[in-house]
Amino acid sequence: MKCIPIKAQAGITGFESPAAEYKELGLSLDQLLVRHPNTTFIGLAAGDSMQGLGIFDGDILIVDRAVEPKHLDVIVANYNSEFVCKVIDLKKRQLLSAGRSFAPVNISEADAFQLEGVVISAVRLFRRNDELAKCMP
């Protein structure tokens, strides 16, 4: 992968072409985003409850099942037969959204709860990717 050695800033009015010089990285995006290939999957964020943490509707989530969740990690879980992306409060056994208009959800013994993995990163597409849309329900 080629890496252009600049920091792009909004509002910049002009600059020398960054493509004139570039560095060759010996990494792919897989290597940058995925630590455990055998336990990592891609999900698609839906809804607006995680916008406060920068996860928007349609963002790609990189989720790792091998990572042990820590208090207040962003996770993907199956909660009562619904896949959710939330912050997990391990001390209070709650699922938290990143917006004030969403109430915390208690995880009780009566709930069907299965942690699917820890969200390692989110990727935002600025153009629709038809190949990604084919693999998502």
Please give the domain boundaries of the chain with CATH numbers for all domains. 35-135 (2.10.109.10)
The per-residue pLDDT for range 14-51, each reduced to its tens digit, is: 555 555 565 666 778 888 889 999 999 999 999 999 99
- Does the predicted model carry a pTM greater than 0.85? no
What is the SS3 assignment for the chain? Answer: CEECCCCCCCCCCCCCCHHHCCEECCCCHHHHHCCCHHHEEEEECCCCCCHHHCCCCCCEEEEECCCCCCCCCEEEEEECCEEEEEEEECCCCEEECCCCCCCCEECCCCCCEEEEEEEEEEECCCCCCHHHHHHCC
pLDDT (tens, 9 = 90+) of the chain, 137 residues, equals 444 555 555 555 555 555 556 566 677 888 888 999 999 999 999 999 999 999 999 899 999 999 999 999 999 999 999 999 999 999 999 999 998 899 999 999 999 999 999 999 999 988 777 776 666 55
Task: For residue 108, indicate whether it is catalytic.
Answer: no
Per-residue pLDDT at 81: 94
- Please, what is the average pLDDT of the chain? 85
Of 86, 92, 97, 121, which is the active-site residue? 86
Of 49, 70, 91, 108, which is the active-site residue? 49
Per-residue pLDDT at 2: 46
Task: For residue 17, indicate whether it is catalytic.
Answer: no
